[in-house]
Structure 1
Amino acid sequence: MSELKPIFNALRRSKVGAILLLLQIAITTAIVSNSTFIIKEKIAYLDQPTGYSEQDIFSFEVMSFGKDTNFKYQAELDEATLRQIPGVVDAVMINSVPLSGGGYSTTFRLRPTGETSQEENASVFEGDEHLLNTFGVEILEGRNFHESEVMVTDNYDQYPNIALLTKAMADTLFPDGDALGKTIYRGDFPVKIIGITGMMKGPWLNAERKDRSVIVPFAKAEKRNLFMVRTEPGRRAEVTQQIEALMLKLDSKRVIENIEGLELVKDGFVASDKLTMRMLLVMIVVLTLITALGIFGLTMFNINKRTKQVGTRRALGARKSHIINYFLIESVMICIGGLVLGTVLAILLGQQLMHHYSIAKLPLLYVGFTAVGVLLISVCSVIGPAQRAANISPSVATRTI
């Protein structure tokens, strides 16, 4: 500790390099701590359970251009044919694919429009009684739709007055757990809850409503129809190879496109998040290397500039450990100053990210871990140059001008 004052005085005499390194450490601490937290949040987001057996499910679109096609009849025929393919567990015509980033959502209320009531936005899936089995989702309470309750039509003049709710949606509207049998409202239209399902993520994994879904027994047959199919484990590739030929055999006046596994659909939706995570990882590595090189370079510069001083101390009896400790303490002093400033910057940056990008509040634990990591890098980066300084021969150093 007796060396702190001379070290501080030495830094004051060559303060430009020390200040630049201090700022570099501060910026690295602020960016790395926030980036690490964002990466952790992205990993949790990407790895969240979806409720689906993604490897066994695929979707595809059918675009008809026949002028005399009976869309309602054709849709029912397509569904029935798909379910008969060897290896297929179930199939359904549906309005939107989960995890895809595209679909339909609306607000449901406990009272009709105009009356004060709790309301929640939810994804809406439209399909027949085979929808849940195709998704591989179980009924927790109540029952599934009956075939007679499903409306297969080409317009919205009539809409079902019953629905299934995911447990997350049911618990949000009815925290006491008594949703089954209750009535909710889509605008002024009453909808009776006949069943509660297990987890099934909606089309938007990054939305607040991601766990809140409503399933209605409705199938709108039109020129462009969307189908989903679940196969037995390991047989999806075998089934997908048959889809186009089989659908065209039923009606040649149409196009089959976008045959895609559910995990690939999800990958397409989260591609930007994966890219962001990779960019942040690269930035962390680059900043860490630059900081380490900066500490190494400043130490080497100070050693070269103080060769005569080091040699004089060695000639006066200073041990090698004293020389090493001198440069270690100098580096730690700069690092601590940078870490204090970096902690303040990290908190301010975290607040801005929270305000502008709806990112969760940065836990101080991440700043602490980053600070410890930067301090260790600082110590490791200076050990090599410090040992080199300690090995300077006193006789050579004292003759250096």
Structure 2
Amino acid sequence: MRDIKPILSALRRSKAGAVLLFLQVALTTAIVSNATFMINENLTYLKEDTGYLQQDIFSFTVMTFGKDINLSQQAEFDEAMIRSIPGVINASLSHVVPLSGGGSSTSARLKPLPEKSKEARLAYFYADENALETFGVKLIAGRNFRPEEIVISDNFHDDGPNTIIVSKMLAENLFDDGAGLGESLYVSGRALEIIGIVDVMESAWPRADDSGTTGIIPFINAQNYQHFLVRTESNERDNVMKLIEDTMLQAYNKRVIINVDGLDESKNSYDAADVLMMRMLIVLVVILVLVTALGIFGLTQFNISKRTKQIGTRRAIGARKSAIVRYFLVENAIVCTVGLVLGSVAAVFLGRVLMQTYSIEALELPYVVLTAFFMLTVSLLAVVVPAVRAANISPSIATRSI
């Protein structure tokens, strides 16, 4: 405590350096707090279970330009043909590729309009009874579609299906007890009975907050542009992917096969921007921390060079080396504490701005506290080397230097 008064006096004499230092610490604390929070959010999202066996599934798109076939019949034939390929477990026509960033959604209601009722966003897949096995999602209640429940039509409203399989998240959002099996949903005016519930099944937009509120509707409306999903045995996916174009064209050559991609590759493409941002944030955090540490190191070195006489005098009257080291540690701690307090307030403010501007989660206070503690540790470590050098200054050399 005896060092506090001379430290404050020294800081008043060199205000510019102290102000620059605590502003630098404050800016670093504010940015690093939010950056580490966003990095952790991205890492948590990237590790989330999507429900799909991504490593065993691939998708491809068929663009048919021939006019001499029935698209629905050809789609059924294509599915059966794909399933006959060695290494294929199942295949399904689907109007949406999961995790790809492009899909369809609507609202699911417990009562038809115009009645008021609870509703939730429904990201849906038009597919048949093969979709569950093809997707690899886990059925936790109810059953799969029966072949006779699959509706092949081009008019969903008038000639649509009567059943649906939903995700656990959708059931929990709509029904208070989280059940829902056997209940009805109203989708685009049609009542669909919930015959099955799957555990986890992400939509085409896994980054969305309600991405898990999904459903499979047994409806096939074959188009000139349509998607197939194929699930293979482990380690067989690459072999089947190499065969799929030739196999499809041999069955009917008036079409083009494009976008033959693994489901994990589709997910990686969807996440590419987030991964890039996360890497940039990591680089930013490292650079800011290093620059701040170097700034503290340089300022301490500068202060030592200005206080050589003061250090030499203290050493001459019997001050121990540990006292000199402690002096600079305490001085740095005071300046950094001011910067950390200011930076913590700025971090919370910046977090709210980011939340309102980019609709991200609110910054959690533990990140601010941990960042402040980390920055204080870094700042103290940055002072140790120059402080030890100062403590080793010989009193005679210090006196002659004036």
TM-score (norm 2): 0.97
Aligned to 2:212: 211
- Residues 201-247 of structure 1: CA deviation (Å, up to 9, x unaligned): 11111213211112111111111110000001111111111101101
SS of 2:216's equivalent?
Answer: strand
Alpha-carbon distance in structure 2 between the residues aligned to 1:52 and 1:300: 57
SS of 1:321's equivalent?
Answer: helix
Aligned to 1:62: 62
Compute the RMSD of aligned alpha carbons: 1.3
Aligned to 1:176: 177
Contact 1:58 1:259 in 2 (8 A): yes
Most deviating of 293-302 and 358-367? 358-367
Contact 1:50 1:201 in 2 (8 A): yes
SS of 1:398's equivalent?
Answer: helix
Aligned to 1:246: 247
Alpha-carbon distance in structure 1 between the residues aligned to 2:182 and 2:390: 81
Equivalences for residues 288-367 of structure 1 within 5 A: 288-367=289-368
Aligned to 1:127: 127
SS of 1:246's equivalent?
Answer: helix
Structure 2 unaligned spans of 5+: none
SS of 1:263's equivalent?
Answer: helix
Q: CA deviation at 1:44?
A: 0.7
Aligned to 2:53: 53
SS of 2:218's equivalent?
Answer: strand
SS of 1:222's equivalent?
Answer: coil
Aligned to 1:95: 95
- Residues 52-102 of structure 1: CA deviation (Å, up to 9, x unaligned): 111000000011111323212211111110010111000000010111111
Equivalences for residues 153-232 of structure 1 within 5 A: 153-156=153-156, 158-232=159-233
Contact 1:154 1:222 in 2 (8 A): no
Aligned to 1:139: 139
Aligned to 2:398: 397
> Number of residues paired by the alignment?
401
SS of 1:137's equivalent?
Answer: coil
SS of 1:342's equivalent?
Answer: helix
Alpha-carbon distance in structure 2 between the residues aligned to 1:319 and 1:60: 75
Aligned to 2:259: 258
Alpha-carbon distance in structure 1 between the residues aligned to 2:44 and 2:393: 52
Contact 2:153 2:160 in 1 (8 A): no
Tell me if 1:369 matches 2:378. no
Alpha-carbon distance in structure 2 between the residues aligned to 1:373 and 1:208: 31
How has the CA–CA distance of structure 1 residues 155 and 246 changed in structure 2, closer, same or farther, with 3 Å as cutoff?
Answer: farther
How has the CA–CA distance of structure 1 residues 22 and 89 changed in structure 2, closer, same or farther, with 3 Å as cutoff?
Answer: same
Q: CA deviation at 1:198?
A: 2.2
Alpha-carbon distance in structure 2 between the residues aligned to 1:4 and 1:63: 78
Alpha-carbon distance in structure 2 between the residues aligned to 1:322 and 1:214: 69
Contact 2:109 2:120 in 1 (8 A): yes
Alpha-carbon distance in structure 2 between the residues aligned to 1:321 and 1:246: 79
Aligned to 2:85: 85
SS of 1:141's equivalent?
Answer: strand
Structure 1 unaligned spans of 5+: none
Most deviating of 250-259 and 148-157? 148-157
Alpha-carbon distance in structure 1 between the residues aligned to 2:97 and 2:197: 20
SS of 1:270's equivalent?
Answer: helix
One-letter identity of the residue aligned with 2:343: G
Contact 1:92 1:229 in 2 (8 A): yes
Alpha-carbon distance in structure 1 between the residues aligned to 2:359 and 2:177: 30
Alpha-carbon distance in structure 2 between the residues aligned to 1:295 and 1:128: 65
Contact 1:58 1:260 in 2 (8 A): yes
Contact 2:90 2:231 in 1 (8 A): yes
Alpha-carbon distance in structure 2 between the residues aligned to 1:40 and 1:165: 30
Tell me if 1:12 matches 2:12. yes
Contact 1:109 1:187 in 2 (8 A): no
SS of 1:202's equivalent?
Answer: coil
Tell me if 1:44 matches 2:37. no
Contact 2:51 2:138 in 1 (8 A): no
How has the CA–CA distance of structure 1 residues 51 and 208 changed in structure 2, closer, same or farther, with 3 Å as cutoff?
Answer: same
Alpha-carbon distance in structure 2 between the residues aligned to 1:172 and 1:81: 39
Tell me if 1:274 matches 2:298. no
Contact 1:61 1:224 in 2 (8 A): yes
One-letter identity of the residue aligned with 1:58: F
Contact 1:26 1:343 in 2 (8 A): yes
Contact 1:183 1:191 in 2 (8 A): yes
Alpha-carbon distance in structure 2 between the residues aligned to 1:267 and 1:37: 22
Tell me if 1:283 matches 2:284. yes
% identical equivalent positions: 53
One-letter identity of the residue aligned with 2:349: L
TM-score (norm 1): 0.97
Aligned to 2:31: 31
Q: CA deviation at 1:352?
A: 1.5
Q: CA deviation at 1:335?
A: 0.9
Contact 1:110 1:118 in 2 (8 A): yes
